[in-house]
Amino acid sequence: MELRQLRMDEFDISTKLSEYAFQYTLTPEQRESNQKHFKPERFWGIFDGEELQAKLTIIPLQVYLQGNIFAMGGIAGVATWPENRRQGHVSTLLKHALQEMKGKGQTLSFLHPFSIPFYRKFGWELFAEYHKYVIPVSKFPRKVEVPGRIVRDVNDIAALDGIYQVYASRYNGTLVREEAWWTRSVLQGDNHSVVYYSAEGKPTGYALYELKDKELVCDEFVFLNEEARSALWTFFANHDSRIEQVTMTMVPTDDQLPYMLPDPRVTRETVPYFMARIVDLKSFVEQYAFEAGREAVLTIEVVDSAAPWNAGLWRLSVNGEGKAELSELPADRGEQADLSTDIQTLSALFTGYKRPQALYSIHRLTGDAKAAAQLEAMIPAGQTCLMDFF
């Protein structure tokens, strides 16, 4: 068996495996587009001779975390032929991917799991979920008059991205979107867009949606103020002669929508979505912005079987400006850790998905109670969100 990157002439065998594993068939137009954008250096496969046995893709991306930008490796397209399963191929690929991402300075990694328990074994942990609403027309927010204007089917990526950047940077885990990502991954298919422009002509909100049968399905509802939110909902309400309900997906879980509805008895579902993993603990923590004015020194014992460079006993030193230094301590010193945990728990903690005290209460973080309280005060509060898929 050989582990290597794919070559340009191996697009067909890679696509064949993906179609079989994920049960789809590309149209000739889709195949041509995918081949045009095929970047074999992002694909890693296990080969038996010239036969591709299993593969995955590492997509170089960036994400917002506390308003700062972190390099992230997106794991996608993990696939194995059924006759090659349970032979350790995916385990080999994932561990190799961690080494690759570390070498490229990608301190975080995200993936959409086919099985949450499976990826937890390799250090990934849930970090993002979203609300899904089904709201009948009779329970829509009330229509309001706004001073600005609504423009439908806007293709101005700069305008859309300007709104998105302000909105997304408030959350932890949202993607930094390049123009190519907007074109190929966001604005595609038969979806419509609508943008609200304030009275001053500034774009302050948008929605991406599609109409099917008697339903309006909204995949992104992004607004910078209450005026924009009200304007977009009024636009949806003006479809009341042709739709019976709106289905909203990818709604951040800190939303206030039910409280704002005339009748909040609507269908709401919380959907577990993406998983995250700290790839390089030392580099990640030293980029992280802790709460200013919280000087502290803690020792933390970390378990990480898939990325051994993260495992061990660490001294976390944070100065008054919120900058950290993480130093590995020799195991033979016999120093007692203030706290003990694993890389999954730290991934949930540092992305803001779970708070230290909550993790301590369920024994995912163990050790000294005062140290856990100290860590709680050091970690800024933050809400996770991810509206993309890969």
Which CATH number is 341's domain given? 3.30.1050.10
Q: Which of 255, 272, 289 is the last residue of a domain?
A: 272
Among candidate residues 128, 207, 143, the one with its CA nearest the CA of residue 175: 128
- pLDDT, one tens digit per residue, over 292-338 is 998 999 999 999 999 999 999 999 999 999 999 999 999 777 789 99
Which CATH number is 255's domain given? 3.40.630.30
Establish if 148 belongs to a structural domain: yes
- pLDDT, one tens digit per residue, over 34-45 is 999 999 999 999
What confidence score (pLDDT) does residue 188 get? 82
136 plus 266 within the same structural domain:
yes
The rounded distance, in Å, linking the Cα atoms of 319 and 293 is 8
Establish if 113 belongs to a structural domain: no
Domain that includes residue 236, residue range: 131-272
Structural domains counted in the chain: 3
Find how far residue 329's CA is from the centre of its chain. 32
Establish if 202 belongs to a structural domain: yes
315 plus 267 within the same structural domain:
no
47 plus 142 within the same structural domain:
no
Establish if 387 belongs to a structural domain: no
Establish if 321 belongs to a structural domain: yes
Q: Which of 215, 248, 272 is the last residue of a domain?
A: 272
Find how far residue 350's CA is from the centre of its chain. 14
50 plus 81 within the same structural domain:
yes
339 plus 372 within the same structural domain:
yes
* Alpha helices, H only, the chain: 11-22, 28-36, 89-103, 116-120, 157-168, 179-181, 226-237, 257-260, 281-287, 343-351, 356-361, 369-378
154 plus 232 within the same structural domain:
yes
* Rounded mean pLDDT, 256-277: 96
Is residue 373 scored above 80 in pLDDT?
Answer: yes
Is the pTM higher than 0.85? The answer reads: yes
CB neighbours of 150 closer than 8 A, spacing ≥ 6? Answer: 194, 195, 196, 197, 231, 232, 235
204 plus 222 within the same structural domain:
yes
